[in-house]
A and B are shown apart, each in its own frame.
Chain A
Amino acid sequence: MAKRITVDPITRIEGHLRIDCEIDNGKVSNAWSSGQMWRGIEIILKDRDPRDAWIYTQRICGVCTTVHAIASVRAVENALQMEIPLNAQYIRNMIIAAHGIHDHMVHFYHLSALDWVDIVSALEADAAQASKLAESLSPWTQNSVKEFKAVQDKLKTFVNTGQLGIFANGYWGHPAMKLPPEVNLIAATHYLQAFEFQRKANQIVTILGSKTPHIQNLAVGGVANPINPDNQSALNMERLYYIKTLMDEVKNFIADVYLIDVCAVAAYYKDWLNYGSGVTNYLSVPDFPLDTKGTQFELPGGYIPNGDVGQFKAITSFDDPFFRDGVKESIKHSWYDGNWTRHPWEEETEPSYTDFQDNGKYSWVKAPSFGGKPAQVGPLANVLAMYVAGHEPTKKYAGMMLNTISKLAGTQVGVKALHSTLGRHAARAIRCAVLYETLENNYNLLLANIAKGDFSTFNKPVFPSGEQRGFGFHEAPRGTLSHWVVVDSGKIKNYQAVVPSTWNAGPRNQDDAMGPYEASLMGNPIAVPDRPLEVLRTVHSFDPCLACAIHLHDNEKEDIVTVRVM
C-alpha cells in the first residue's frame, strides 16, 4: 500500500506551494503540485493605463520584482510595435543581468544549499583540512584556515545557544546527507560570504534602477535614466565606473566559488544526476536585445521537445509567432470556473474553489502548455538552448563544469547528466557565469554608444484608437516569463502573466499530463517519509517561487512546514 505525504509550504519565501506524493517501496510513485493561493493581478489591471502596468506588476512578487516590470513594458511596446533606443536596451540588459546573477546566487546558497549541506556536521570539520581541500579546487582568497575556523566558531555558538535561527528547519543528520564535514564547512562558509556578493550584484540594480526593491527607471518606450557623462544627477561616468568596480568583485565569486561549490555538491551526490528529469520539453526565450526592434539577442532561446536537441527550434524576435501562438493555458485541474484551454489573450479569471481533488481540480496554478505539451522552463532549459545554438560562453562554462564534476566524481559526466535534479543547479551556475559576461558586454556597449554622442533613452508611446494586442517575454532567473496584454483605446482590456513557476509548478494539463514538478518527483528515493528531504531537493532545484504564480492570499498558514504522512 502506497504511503501519502504532504509537504506544505515547501519554500522559505513568499508564496505557498503544497506538494503531495505517494511513496511505494521507498520511491515516489505519484505526485501533485498545488499552488495554495490565488493571483488576481489581471483583475487589478483592467481598465488601467498600459503605461502604468509595470508599476503594479512588479508588486506581484517580493522576490522577482524587476522581471515583471521588464516583461510588462515589453508587452505594451509590442502591442504598439515600438522601437526602443539602444541605450535603453543596454541599461535594461544590465539591470536584468545583474538581477539574474543576484537571484541565481541567492537561490543556490540561501534557498537550496541546505538541502545538501549539513550545517551541524560542519562543526566536526577539521578547518585545516577544509582549507587545504578548498585551496586545491580554487584560487579564491577567502579559503584560509583562519576563515574556516572563524565560521566554525560562529556556528558552534549558534548551535550551542539553541539559536539555530535561519537554520532551524534543516534536516540535519538525515541519512541522505552525504558531504564530509570539511565540505560542509566550506559550503557553510561560502553561504555566509555569498550574502556580501549577492548584495553587490543587487547594488548594480539599485544604481541603474534608482531604487530597490522596486526599480523606478522603466518606462514604456525606454528608460527614465537621463544620460549625461558630466552631470552629477544623471547617469554619469562616476556611476558607471562604480558599477564596473562592483562587477569585478562579483566576477571572482561566481567563477572561483559558486561554480566550484556546485561541482563539489554534484560530485558527492552524483546519484542525483540520475533523478529528477521529469518533463524534458524545454522552453526558453532569447533575451538581451542588442537592436532597437528586438530581433537580435545576445542570449539565444527556443524550444527543445523530448530532450532531443536535434529538434531545437529557435525563437528569433520579440514578435515571433512561434512563441506567440504556441502558449496556451488549461484550467481543467485548476480552481477556476469551467474547463478550457485558451491562449492568454482569450483567457478570463473566474476563481472557483473546490477541495483538493486528486483527479479533479487541486491548484490555483493554471497548466500552461507549449504546442499542446507541458514544458520545463528555467536555467536548464535556457542553457540547453544556448548550448545547442552554439553560444560560445555557454559552451565554455558548461565544459568547465562538466570537466570539474567528472574529475571530482572520478567518472565521466556528460551533458546528458544535466537532465536531473542536480543538473538544474549546474545549469543555473553556468547561466550565472554567462550572465556575468552579458553584463560586461552590455556595459561596454553602453559606454561605446554614449561615447558616440547618443544620449537617447526614450521614445514616446502613442496609443491609437481601437484594439492592439501585445506580448512581452523575458528569460527571467526562474525561466520564461511572458506578459500578455490587450489594449483598447489606450486602456487595458485584458492582462495575463504566464510566469515561470506556472510552467514548472502547474498541475496536470488538459490531457492529464503531469506538470514538471510532478513528473520530476516520480521515482525519487525517499529514505524517511516524515523527513522527505529528497522531495525538497528536487522541487527546490527548480527555484520555486509561487508569490507570482498565484497570489499571496493566505493568512491562515501554519508557522512552520507541515509534513503529514498518511
Chain B
Amino acid sequence: MPGSGVAVLGLGNVLMQDEGIGVHLVNMLATKYEFDPAIQLIDGGTTGTDLLPYFDSNERIMILDAVDFGKKAGHVEVLRNDEILARFKSKLSLHHLGLSDVLSTLQLLEIKPEEICLIGMQPASMELDLALSESIRLHLENTLEIILAELKKWEISWKRK
C-alpha cells in the first residue's frame, strides 16, 4: 500500500469510445509515469459504491471522468470537494448516478477525505468503439499536464518511464 494516501480513480466505459476517457487517462498515467511517493491508480470502470473503500483508505482522491460541460470536445475543468456534488445537481458526469451516490454516501458514513478533486473532460463521440475519438486524442497530452499539475499540488512528483 503506497504511503502517499493519494488515489486516482479513472471512471468510464471503455467499450463506448470517449465514455471511457477516465479509464484511458488512468491507464496512461500508469504506463507512462513513475510517481514518488507511489500513488494508487485505479480503473474504476462504471461501478458505484464498490469504490467506497478507496475514499476511506486515502486522504486525497482524484477522479477522472467524461463530463458533459456543454463545451467543445476536449475541454477540461477541475472541480473540488463540495463543488462536485453541488454541480451534480444539474447534469454533469455521465456516471451521474454512480458517482453522486458514492459522494452522498460518503457524507452519510462520515468518510471525509481531506480533498477530492474531479478532473472532467468533455467527450466528442460515444459510439461503440474501444478507441478514443480523434478529437479527444488530440487533447490527451494537455489533460495529462493538468492532471500532473494537480498531483504536484499534493506533493507528488513524477518522471517519465
Contacts and interface: CB of A to CB of B under 8 A. Distances in A.
Contacts of A213: 43-45, 47, 50-51
Interface in A91-140: 106, 110
Interface string A156-187: 00100001011010000000000000000000
Contact of A552 (B16, B101, B109): B16
B107 A110 contact: no
Interface stretch (A25-33, A37-45, A296-304, A355-363): A37-45
A60 B15 contact: yes
Nearest to B103: A165
A63 interface: yes
A41 B43 CA distance: 19
Main DSSP-derived SS at the A contact region: loop
Contacts of B65: none
A511 interface: no
B28 to A, nearest CB: 17
Interface string A258-277: 00000000000000000000
B15 A166 contact: no
A13 interface: yes
Contact of B15 (A12, A13, A44): A44
Interface string B108-152: 111000000000000000101110000000000000000000000
Nearest to B90: A559
A441 interface: no
A232 interface: no
A6 to B, nearest CB: 19
B15 A59 contact: yes
Interface residues on B, range: 35 or more
B73 to A, nearest CB: 13
Nearest to A552: B13
B81 interface: no
Given A199-B53, A551-B128, A59 B89 contact: no
Interface string B12-51: 0111100100000000000000000000000111111111
Contact of A62 (B91, B98, B109): B98
Contacts of B105: 165-166, 195
B75 interface: no
Given A59-B15, A552-B19, A559-B90, A106 B107 contact: no
A153 to B, nearest CB: 12
A195 B52 contact: yes
A201 to B, nearest CB: 11
Interface residues of A, number: 37
Nearest to A559: B91
A62 B51 CA distance: 11
A62 B108 contact: no
B108 A166 contact: yes
B68 interface: yes
A63 B46 CA distance: 8
A14 B16 contact: no
Nearest to A163: B107
Contacts of A110: 49
A407 interface: no
Given A165-B108, A559-B90, 8 more contacts: A44-B128, A62-B95, A63-B47, A166-B108, A192-B108, A199-B53, A214-B45, A559-B91
Interface of A: 12-14, 40-41, 43-44, 56, 59-63, 65, 106, 110, 154, 158, 163, 165-166, 168, 192, 195, 199, 202-203, 212-214, 547, 551-553, 555, 558-559
7 contacts: A41-B15, A62-B45, A166-B104, A202-B50, A213-B45, A559-B89, A559-B96
Interface of B: 13-16, 19, 43-53, 68, 89-91, 94-98, 101, 104-105, 107-110, 126, 128-130
Ranked 6 nearest A-B pairs via Cβ:
A62-B46, A165-B104, A166-B104, A213-B47, A40-B128, A62-B47
